[in-house]
Amino acid sequence: MKMIENTPSNPNDISITMEPCPEGLEAAYNTLYSPDAIQFIAELVSTFDTRIEQLYWKRLKTKCTYQKLDQLPKFRNSPERHEKHWKVAPLPQRLQNRHLDLGDVSPANTDHFKKALLADVQGIQVDFDDGHCPTWKNQLIGLYNIFKVVHGQFSGIPSLSTLPILMLRPRAWNMIEHNMMVNGKEVPGPLFDFGVLVFHNAHELFKEGSGPFFYLSKLEGADEAELWNDIFVWAQQKLQIPYGTIKACVLIENILSSFEMDEILYKLKDHSLGLNCGIWDYAASIISKFGHKKNFMLPDRNKYVNMSRHFLKSYMLLVIKTCHKRGAHATGGMAAQSLSMENTSRNSEIIENVCKSKLQEISAGVDGFMVYDIGLVPYINKLWKQHAPEPNQLSVLPNESVSPEDLLQMPTGGVTVNGMKHNVQVAILFIYYWFQGRGHFQFKGAVEDSATAEISRSQIWQWIRHKASMEDVNGIVSKHLVSKFASEFITECKKNNQFCNSIDDYQKIIAAKEIFLELVTKREFPDFITTFLNNNYIFWHFHKHSISSGPKCHL
């Protein structure tokens, strides 16, 4: 398979370069990356390129504003916030009940994806972001698996209309697709994913009343929601599907977006299906924006950070209040606990804890949330039937007010040895599994993905920066201590033949440790662990063998 490259005779024409096909996936490559599909993506990218550059520059400017000018965010004094009567557009029938989605379902994991399609849930978060590793091979497998589901070509899977809703989650704006260039620039990952997904699947999804529906990750405010809305409008016009067909749920995973919820809903109001809470990306974003200040230091997350803490409780309350005021669904985060196949005696405790936590969210007024483990689905469905049997809770309108101070009130607490070690281990293993081409993994009874890796490495960086005191031993968090814990973990893995079953695996986990130590000791905080890895030579070195070589050719 050769690299695809065109050479326009007119300098105003769009130039396109695509890397060759991963070995053995020629049929998928030729189906998805047809000349028409490539042209559609290229036109999409070139149409919005200037605004995307403005997005990146605004993010950088905003970061400087909060870090160098020592400012804090506040609510906008906007007409969208103060006008009481506007609502988002009515939702189609299939979106009226959003009780339960399966989260972190990477479509590149074919076995897990198939099981999810047969689960008794309302939706599936078909994930190219937090729970997915975006190698060129994984992108192709994942996109092709979705194509086969939508077009009725997936063996053993019934028709689209009987399946859970496919809630397609493209990569966030921080991610770049290195394998495609348009006009001499690498393509933003979300536009590549969105372009392939809608070009091949929009008509079939619309015909079945099943979409296209999306999760939008890591937006940093209403301007970014407006950009997505204009992308939706452009795609609908280009594909000749009705205005308002595309619907999207914005994940409020960034502290800045929590100050612009009304505005986000308004910018997307004809294409909105609500807002979603995500605890760990959200908490990590506070460190990203304000972590240079000691008064924004987050304590041990396992011991002191959960949805009952004031800043997170206020955040969820504001999501519910804002959404329901505007006729939009408010959904909670994902239960990452996983049932054990080996130690089944613990499963009753896990089920009890998950149900207790999710009942708190139901009681607060959420319209739905996610779980990872399919084995939890019957218990969660029973929970909804017992406590909130209606399709949604849009009638729940909290009276409590939420102030900027509520959203920025950090919980008290210290740093523990176990908390430090857990963060070190999760972050190292996330990097290791990315080297393996996997975006999430199970560790100590929980599913870990980029969100938990993000909060883990963010806390370690912050604790080193501010010389956090340990509460259970004498001493402070230092680079030396973190390096010691990291080395002890690698030694333990080698001794127990965990993650070190071959020379290749051992090289990967050693490299993961070194990259982790680099991340947590950077002078300036790296904004996203996934961006750092996606741009890292070592990551691409481990995956370059999956792409066949060959000379360039012209379209």
Q: Give me the DSSP letters along 237-251.
A: HHHT--TT--EEEEE
Question: Which residues are tagged catalytic?
Answer: 169, 449
In contact, 414 and 469? CB cutoff 8 Å: yes
Residue 288's nearest CA partner among 536, 535, 533, 529 is 529
> 101 - beta bridge partners?
123, 370
How open is the CA angle 381-125-34, to the nearest 5 degrees? 145
* Spatial CB neighbours of 168, under 8 Å, sequence gap ≥ 6: 126, 128, 146, 193, 197, 211, 212, 213, 214, 215
Parallel, antiparallel or unpaired: strands 368-371 and 100-105: parallel
Distance CA 94, CA 102 (A): 16
> 204 in the Ramachandran plot: left (φ > 0), alpha (ψ -120 to 50) or beta?
alpha
Alpha-carbon gap, residue 450 to 217, rounded angstroms: 12
With b for 16 or more beta-carbon neighbours within 10 A and e for fewer, the 33-53 pattern comes to beeeebebbbebbbebbeebe
Using CA atoms in the order 406, 408, 414, 417, what is the torsion angle rounded to 10 degrees?
120
CA nearest 71: which of 307, 282, 259, 281?
259
**Amino acid (1-letter code) at residue 257:** S
| Residue closest to 274 by CA, chosen among 282, 262, 292, 286 | 262
Single-letter residue type at 248: A
Structural tokens at position 384: 């909804």
552-553 β-sheet, strand order: 185-188, 176-182, 16-18, 3-5, 552-553
- Letter string b/e over residues 221-252, b meaning 16 or more CB atoms within 10 A of that residue's CB: bbbbbbbbbebbeebbeebebeebbbbbbbbb
SS3 307: coil
**Three-state SS across 24-81?**
CCHHHHHHHCCHHHHHHHHHHHHHHHHHHHHHHHHHHHHHHHHHHCCCCCCCCCCHHH
Query: How many CB atoms sit inside 10 A of residue 444's CB?
Result: 9
